[in-house]
Chains A and B, each alone.
Chain A
Amino acid sequence: MATAVVTTERENYINSEYGIRSWLLTTDHKRIALLYLLSITFFFFIGGFFALLIRLELLTPAGDLVQADTYNKLFTMHGQIMVFFFLIPSIPAVLGNFLVPMMIGAKDLAFPRINLLSWYLYIFGGCMMLHCIVTGGVDTGWTFYTPFSTAFTNTKVIEAGLSIFIVGFSSILTGLNFVVSIHRMRAPGLTWSRLPLFLWSIYATSIIFLLGTPVLAITLLLLIFERAFHLGIFDPTRGGDPLLFQHLFWFYSHPAVYIMILPAMGVVSEIIPCFSRKRVFGYSFVAMSSIAIAVFGFLVWAHHMFVAGISLYSALFFSILSYLVAVPSAVKVFNWTATMYKGSISFSTPMLYALGFIGLFTIGGLTGLFLAALGFDVHVTDTYFVIAHFHYIMVGGAVMGYLGGLHFWWPKISGRMYPEAWGRLAAAIVFIGFNLTFFPQFILGYMGMPRRYWQYPPEFQVLNVFSTAGSTILAVGYLLPMIYMLWSLRYGKIAGDNPWGAAGLEWKTASPPPTFNFDETPEVTWEAYNYDEIPMPEEVSLER
């Protein structure tokens, strides 16, 4: 390339040091983000592989592809890998690690070495989980419900539990780093009311990491003790209470849903103003709704237990509180749409993902209200309705947000543009494949098809065939970005410092950024999302 010969490439975080040691011992938040990107992509495809096997088994009513026991292991390990090794670390550990210090105008996170430690904890827990899978796996469902997990199954509950316990500490340390950095490391002039909304949602997520994950840790520890020594804490035949396990488990695992969705909401809040060329509508409402979701999220856990034998009054209480979560979620959706209203919208790839997010999250959220209603919940508990609902949140919401964010910040991360046409095509394929996979499951669940069975009555087959067909399309949609992003590392168009004409401190430095992010500490004198002051680049405006 002619330009590369004329101007020698300036030093950045990727080319400042070479060799495997410089990566494995790095304390640079951007390099750690890339380490996370590689490792969670690896786990994403393993978890996705299990999902494809599940869908293939369900192609026909008879249980013919795998044994019933194997099927139990497949959905268990799909869930555990996707939840603990992909979704929870996805946006926080990759985009959060990369962006939090840059968005606050700092050189690094508050505790760079602890940041590296958290990646090693993740890898250690991940290797344990892989070992567990290779040597037999677990069949309890990702929820580890007692007393099945402690007294009946003969699969590797202890090893799986320990690996998730360890990965939990990786999340705690990441959350700790974010909260401390956002409080103490902001550049001069960057007040709380000028923070990008992505940081507000990462902040809210980190609070859940800090307050929720330790409870999961102690729950898993008690589960492991119970299984190893037969203590009786969760064993009804010895006076223990399995419901206590469910309470403790969901006290973390319901807020964990917000760990997955809040960062994606943050990503969408960045993308939409940029591609609508408008200041975000109702900044403080969007910011506070993140905090509200984190707070309410801690008060609704027992809606997972409506049919587990909790009292009617506590069920009522949790039902009403679950409805309340809809308020801040709806505030966000309304504010995003209001931001787009009369904006000059361009349909670049990140924007397509953001628009897809809004639609799918809305469906997932509204069906969540169905499930919060006691009567309807009894009808559809443990059916495919629930599966469809939470996949609309976690895949339609969180994964769409993650992919949108990855495309949006890819020029900053790699210094290159991904091929825009392929990007849009992949976004469309993901959207179509996703809906084809999961929408039929709403109907299946409503008709009464239960989850976690390897065979089903023949009258459910048509919808299951739709769903399986959709899942293969979805798989193509996920493989495409991986291929063209790798391609773009070498052949992609060189991205400027700010190819989208986006607001935010991370766009005010080079792409890829230098090791210490900014040549000199920036001083912030403007409000967030001051799009009326930033001209739209010509290339983006062509995509309208």
Chain B
Amino acid sequence: MSDSLIALEHPTELQHHFADMEQQKNTSTFGMWLFLGTEIMFFGGMFAAYLIYRRWYYNEFALGSRSINIWLGTINTMVLICSSLTVALGVRAAQMGKRKLLVTLLLITMVFGVAFLGIKGVEWYQKYEEHHVPGSSFNASDLVSVGQKYGIHINQAHSQIYFSLYFALTGLHALHMVVGLGIFTVLTYFAWKGKYTPEYHTPIEIGGLYWHFVDIVWIYLFPLLYLIDRKPFH
């Protein structure tokens, strides 16, 4: 068996250990789904901690939640949902072999991703200025006085647990966004080079899966962290 014969039988994108493109695609996609399963467990540990402490320290969680800028959170939710739309359209463009459209949609997705991180940064900075970042300079006396006004006792240490979970969850989510942006930079480069065709665009689909997953995590984080109790005080 000469190399040229193998090259004739195998498309260039087909790795040596797969029988055909179909098998390669199924394998890669399945791998990503499993990886996302592990990600659910990864965030799951923190959701378990959240569940327990929210039950124990509901008042602190509710007032902590109120102190976060809801408009930034809402805008960010919309930004991410829009980015999921552009990813889905991008996969469609790849399937139809529209290279320019694909590159444009990938770039728009990345703009949304960067915007999300920027807005997140503003939100974190506000928390920093309010001394709500857990650590030695943490101070939730503002929440204590809000609580006093409405006859709710607030324990600052418990508020710190809320903000610890807030920063751990949003921080790890943001880290996943950064990884996603890295993946999409590579995808955009190869899309621009014309590597993806209607026959071969598995990386776009798999990268898209990852992006959608990170979005879905946010869809859970938003109500859990921002919307615990927003109704007006009586």
Interface, chain A (partner B; CB < 8 A)? 101, 106-112, 172, 176-177, 179-180, 183-185, 210-215, 217-219, 221-222, 225, 229-233, 237-241, 244, 247-248, 251, 516, 521
CB–CB B30/A180 < 8 A: yes
CA distance A239 to B140 in the complex (A): 15
Q: Given known contacts A214-B38, A244-B49, what 18 new A-B pairs fall within 8 Å (CB)?
A: A107-B16, A107-B17, A176-B34, A183-B30, A185-B17, A212-B41, A221-B172, A225-B164, A229-B135, A230-B136, A231-B134, A232-B134, A233-B49, A233-B164, A238-B160, A239-B57, A239-B155, A247-B48
CB–CB A176/B17 < 8 A: no
CB nearest to A107 among chain B residues: B17
Instruction: Tell which of A110, A214, A230, A240 touches B45, judged by Cβ atoms closer than 8 Å.
Output: A214
CB–CB A180/B27 < 8 A: yes
CB nearest to A111 among chain B residues: B31
Instruction: Tell which of B17, B57, B172 touches A106, judged by Cβ atoms closer than 8 Å.
Output: B17
CB–CB A516/B16 < 8 A: yes
CA distance A536 to B172 in the complex (A): 57
| B8 close to chain A: CB less than 8 A | no
CA distance A521 to B45 in the complex (A): 43
Q: Tell me the B7-36 residues at the A interface (CB within 8 Å).
A: 15-19, 23, 26-27, 30-31, 34-35
For B35, list chain A residues within 8 Å (CB).
Answer: 176
Q: Shortest distance in angstroms between A49's beta carbon and chain B's nearest beta carbon?
A: 34
For B27, list chain A residues within 8 Å (CB).
Answer: 110, 180, 184-185
CB–CB A213/B38 < 8 A: yes
CB–CB B160/A232 < 8 A: yes
CB–CB B17/A108 < 8 A: yes
For B15, list chain A residues within 8 Å (CB).
Answer: 112
Contact A222/B158 with A107-B16, A176-B35, A210-B37 known, Cβ cut-off 8 Å: no
CB nearest to A176 among chain B residues: B34
Instruction: Tell which of A101, A218, A230 touches B43, judged by Cβ atoms closer than 8 Å.
Output: A218
For A212, list chain B residues within 8 Å (CB).
Answer: 41
CB–CB A217/B160 < 8 A: no
CA distance A352 to B15 in the complex (A): 42
CA distance A212 to B44 in the complex (A): 11
Contact A219/B45 with A176-B38, A230-B136, A516-B16 known, Cβ cut-off 8 Å: yes
Q: Shortest distance in angstroms between B103's beta carbon and chain A's nearest beta carbon?
A: 26
| B199 close to chain A: CB less than 8 A | no
Interface string of B33-77 (1 = CB under 8 A from A): 011011101111110110011001100000000000000000000
CB–CB A244/B52 < 8 A: yes
Instruction: Tell which of A108, A176, A177, A215 touches B41, judged by Cβ atoms closer than 8 Å.
Output: A215
Instruction: Tell which of A109, A184, A221 touches B30, judged by Cβ atoms closer than 8 Å.
Output: A184
For A183, list chain B residues within 8 Å (CB).
Answer: 30
CA distance A89 to B162 in the complex (A): 37
Q: Shortest distance in angstroms between B203's beta carbon and chain A's nearest beta carbon?
A: 13
Interface, chain B (partner A; CB < 8 A)? 15-19, 23, 26-27, 30-31, 34-35, 37-39, 41-46, 48-49, 52-53, 56-57, 134-136, 155, 157-158, 160-161, 164-165, 168, 172
Contact A238/B38 with A180-B31, A218-B46 known, Cβ cut-off 8 Å: no
CA distance A241 to B161 in the complex (A): 11
CB–CB A215/B42 < 8 A: yes
CB–CB A238/B168 < 8 A: no
For B161, list chain A residues within 8 Å (CB).
Answer: 231-233, 238-240
CA distance A60 to B213 in the complex (A): 58
CA distance A516 to B158 in the complex (A): 58
Contact A211/B38 with A218-B45, A222-B168, A232-B164 known, Cβ cut-off 8 Å: yes
CA distance A389 to B152 in the complex (A): 51
For B56, list chain A residues within 8 Å (CB).
Answer: 239
CA distance A411 to B42 in the complex (A): 40
CA distance A211 to B52 in the complex (A): 21
Contact A112/B17 with A231-B161, A244-B49 known, Cβ cut-off 8 Å: yes
CA distance A217 to B53 in the complex (A): 20
For B19, list chain A residues within 8 Å (CB).
Answer: 521
CB–CB A248/B48 < 8 A: yes
Instruction: Tell which of A107, A176, A211 touches B31, judged by Cβ atoms closer than 8 Å.
Output: A176
CA distance A222 to B46 in the complex (A): 9
For B57, list chain A residues within 8 Å (CB).
Answer: 239
CB nearest to A108 among chain B residues: B17
Instruction: Tell which of B31, B49, B135 touches A222, judged by Cβ atoms closer than 8 Å.
Output: B49
20 contacts between A and B (CB under 8 A): A108-B16, A112-B15, A112-B17, A176-B35, A180-B31, A210-B34, A211-B37, A214-B39, A215-B41, A218-B43, A218-B44, A219-B45, A221-B168, A229-B134, A230-B134, A232-B157, A232-B160, A232-B164, A238-B161, A516-B17
CB–CB A239/B158 < 8 A: yes
CA distance A229 to B155 in the complex (A): 19
For B52, list chain A residues within 8 Å (CB).
Answer: 241, 244
CB nearest to B133 among chain A residues: A229
CB–CB A211/B41 < 8 A: yes
CA distance A231 to B42 in the complex (A): 19
CA distance A24 to B67 in the complex (A): 52
Q: Shortest distance in angstroms between A106's beta carbon and chain B's nearest beta carbon?
A: 6
For B18, list chain A residues within 8 Å (CB).
Answer: 185
